[in-house]
Structure 1
Amino acid sequence: MKFEFFLAYRSLIRSRGNRFIPFIRTLAVTGMVIGTAALMITAGILNGFEENMIEKITGFDAHLRISNLRDAHFQKDTSLTQEFLSLPHIHTMAPYLDEEVIIRFKDRSEGILLECMEEEDFRRILMPSKKPWAGRVDFSGNSIYLGKGVADILGVSPGDTVDLLLIKGLPSPTNPARIQAVQVTGIFSTGISEYDKSLAYGGLDMGQSFLMAPDRISGYQILLDDTEFTDEVSAALVDKLPYPYYSVSWKDRHYTLFRWLETQKLPIILIFGLIALVAAVNIISTLVMIVLVKEKEIAVLKSMGMASRRIKKLFLMDGLIISLTGSVLGVLLSLFIEWGQMTFGWFTISSDVYFIDRVPVSISPLIALIVMGTAIVLALISSFYPAAKASAVKPVEILRYE
């Protein structure tokens, strides 16, 4: 153990005969604990919301979609499917047909997006993220799988028959509205009310018959083996897709949502980072008071030949001990709060608004390292002034009347 560290340990941890120093040391460590924990929990909550949103979105939406710029509905291209299925990380590629329609039950109606695809593809790509609420998935015949929000608005339940209406332009004797009676076989919930109020799924054959688009599709939905490769596969598709085809990833489709989240991160972290800054300032006041209280001891050390630079190191070591102790305890406290929140749900929120029923906290090792590193750097910077003041003590003036 180096001499400076030994003295710092004795003065901070095992100080005897003076209760003031342990008290202000405890306050400094407590401030660092609160500042570190506040910053980590804030970053963990933001990270938790982002991870939850990504999980929800990549669950109820395809990772990538291929559409046609020229035609809203176009013929299947088997060669295109075979070529892209050979690309790495593409797990499934399925045709789909979608259209905005009106759904009506008795005297109630609502606008929805109807997506039609093969039942096997639906179960593989979109079904895992949907919580069955009532009934079951069955795309045989004229049937649909309805979002819970739409079902609540219309007042329907599995087994009821509803009408789908498609209106193109102004209805007239030469342009009548298309009407298709379908049976509701099941109701699902995604956990996001806005999507539950606007989505319904059906079989591809039923959709092509209702939309009078035989053997035509709106595009392909692509499922990847890992969402981390979304950008890589999207770039590969851009290079290989011939005109007029184009691809859109889940990030592109929900760009505004994630852009909003990124915009919120910086000011929130800066605001809570001020707590850590206050803790660093508290270290300055703590060390300055220690210097004032221990001026006599510092003078004795200098009179015995201890160099000023070693005195400076001593107080820098004091600041390092306080910051390390406070930041480590702050990290442990924040990890305990994360575990308790995700296990017991101490703080609940509305699932209709925030997609989850409890405040999500996800503290990654990277967040912990960044916060701890920042806390230690701030503490060392804060220790420079008290250390310089201590090294400038003049033994003659302090010990003159001793």
Structure 2
Amino acid sequence: MKLVFLVLRRLFFSSQSNFLFKTTNIVSIISLALGIASLNIVLGAVSGFESKVSEKLSSISGYTTINHLFQDEFSTDQSLLPDFYSELSSSLIPYIEKPAILKSKDNSSNILIYGFEKKDFNELNLFSSLNNNLNTINEDHIVVGSLLAKNLNLSIGDEIIIFNPLISGERTEKRKFLLLEIKEIYHSGIEDYDSRLVFIPINTVQSYFALGDSITGWMNFDPLLKIDNIDYPFYQLSLNDRHSDLFEWINTQQWPIIFIFSLIALVSYFNLMGSINILFYEKRFNLAIMKTYGMSNRKISLIFIIQGMVLAFIGAVFGILLSLFIIFIQEKFQFISLAENIYFVSYLPIIFSINNAIYTLFFSLICSILFSSISLAYLLSINPSKILKN
């Protein structure tokens, strides 16, 4: 440790060091800080974007769904339910999914109905920002998406009609149409959902579609719940399974981005090599004398490697602090905006990760050792007698 403090003192506080040497060290630290900050921000943006998209998608249809392999709907008769349900009944939310047509005074649109029990409406994160308390939702209420409301000129309190295009001709006129009142308008930021997906109490859906006590399946909104013992003929779909194309696109895009910014961070280490070369040039006579008196190349190398590691450590710490500041500013003021109808989010979400900070710090130290060693391989090959003669 004494050697480390000695190098630090010589590096920044020695009166014998010239202006060029000190300036080079400062430039090296700044370039390293910018490189590490950019890499840390990109890693946080990749993680933040995927996390935010997953959070939005899971707020609509859960982290996993459990359905029947051969039936679109199945009975919830206790004697017919699978064994795993008794253990997980408190964590699983039953739902019904049905296509239909929604007609307003001005127009009509194809929709997808999600039916939930009334007590489960407030459990959905999708509705957490709504002003109205959905505890008061009734069988004649419906919650529609913001884009659907905009396209059909709908407002809270308006009445709409649900029409089942597959309804049997034998049904009475009353059963052909379902008159509902708009209780609330939600906004998910996902165009396909906001323009098509509506939510109705499950009893209303079961009654209108003559399903009895049948449901489509269960949704799991708990990210920590692991369901492994699914009995045949039931099967489980995860969030990644349902949106495999989207997450495959995210994974395909993130690795080239990380690779490019890693190269940008790597370029900053060439300044470190320059700093070591300048230090060697300035102290070449002292080093030549020490080498003549028997100091080994190993000890000389250790001095320069520690110097490089100190520069890299300081640069990495400043880079991590800079990235933390930029991430905080972006999350608070959302300067970098995105097209929500394309990317599912209105701004670029960035997550500051302690793990990423540690990874970039170790990346910085390893690169400093590597680049310092490359520079020293040439410098230590110079004969000290030639230096002293000059």
User: What's the secondary structure of 2:229's corresponding residue?
Assistant: helix
Amino acid aligned to 1:198: R
1:342–1:360 Cα contact (<8 Å) kept: yes
Quote the Cα distance in structure 1 between the aligned partners of 2:80 and 2:276: 70
Quote the Cα distance in structure 2 between the aligned partners of 1:141 and 1:360: 38
Q: Which residue of 1 aligns with 2:229?
A: 236
Gap runs ≥5 in structure 1: none
Amino acid aligned to 1:19: F
Q: Which residue of 1 aligns with 2:112?
A: 113
1:384 deviation in Å? 0.7
User: What's the secondary structure of 2:87's corresponding residue?
Assistant: coil
User: What's the secondary structure of 1:131's corresponding residue?
Assistant: coil
| Structure 2 residue corresponding to 1:289, chosen from 273, 278, 287 | 278
Quote the Cα distance in structure 1 between the aligned partners of 2:125 and 2:368: 51
C-alpha distance after superposition, 1:268-305 (max 9, x if no partner): 11111111110112212221232233322221222233
The answer as to 2:2 corresponding to 1:9 is: no
Q: Which residue of 1 aligns with 2:380?
A: 391
1:308–1:392 Cα contact (<8 Å) kept: no
The answer as to 2:202 corresponding to 1:213 is: no
1:82 deviation in Å? 8.1
User: What's the secondary structure of 2:219's corresponding residue?
Assistant: strand
TM-score normalized with structure 1 length: 0.87
Quote the Cα distance in structure 2 between the aligned partners of 1:31 and 1:7: 24
Q: Which residue of 2 aligns with 1:362?
A: 351
1:147–1:198 Cα contact (<8 Å) kept: yes
User: What's the secondary structure of 2:236's corresponding residue?
Assistant: strand
Identity %: 28
1:34 deviation in Å? 0.6
Which piece of structure 1 moves more, 343-352 or 201-210?
343-352
1:127 deviation in Å? 5.4
1:130 deviation in Å? 4.6
Amino acid aligned to 2:260: I
The answer as to 2:88 corresponding to 1:99 is: no
1:298–1:393 Cα contact (<8 Å) kept: no
The answer as to 2:173 corresponding to 1:180 is: no
2:119–2:135 Cα contact (<8 Å) kept: no
Quote the Cα distance in structure 1 between the aligned partners of 2:367 and 2:104: 64
Quote the Cα distance in structure 2 between the aligned partners of 1:120 and 1:9: 64
Quote the Cα distance in structure 1 between the aligned partners of 2:341 and 2:271: 42
User: What's the secondary structure of 1:317's corresponding residue?
Assistant: helix
Which piece of structure 1 moves more, 110-119 or 250-259?
250-259
User: What's the secondary structure of 2:274's corresponding residue?
Assistant: helix
Cα distance, 1:94–1:7 mapped onto 2, change above 3 Å: closer
2:331–2:350 Cα contact (<8 Å) kept: yes
RMSD: 2.8
Q: Which residue of 1 aligns with 2:329?
A: 340
2:58–2:221 Cα contact (<8 Å) kept: no
Quote the Cα distance in structure 2 between the aligned partners of 1:80 and 1:249: 24
Which piece of structure 1 moves more, 53-62 or 321-330?
53-62
1:37 deviation in Å? 0.4
1:128 deviation in Å? 5.5
User: What's the secondary structure of 1:393's corresponding residue?
Assistant: coil
C-alpha distance after superposition, 1:101-141 (max 9, x if no partner): 111112411111111122112333x2554532679565434
Gap runs ≥5 in structure 2: none
Quote the Cα distance in structure 1 between the aligned partners of 2:189 and 2:129: 8
The alignment of Structure 1 onto Structure 2 pairs a total of residues equal to 388
Cα distance, 1:336–1:79 mapped onto 2, change above 3 Å: farther
User: What's the secondary structure of 1:228's corresponding residue?
Assistant: coil
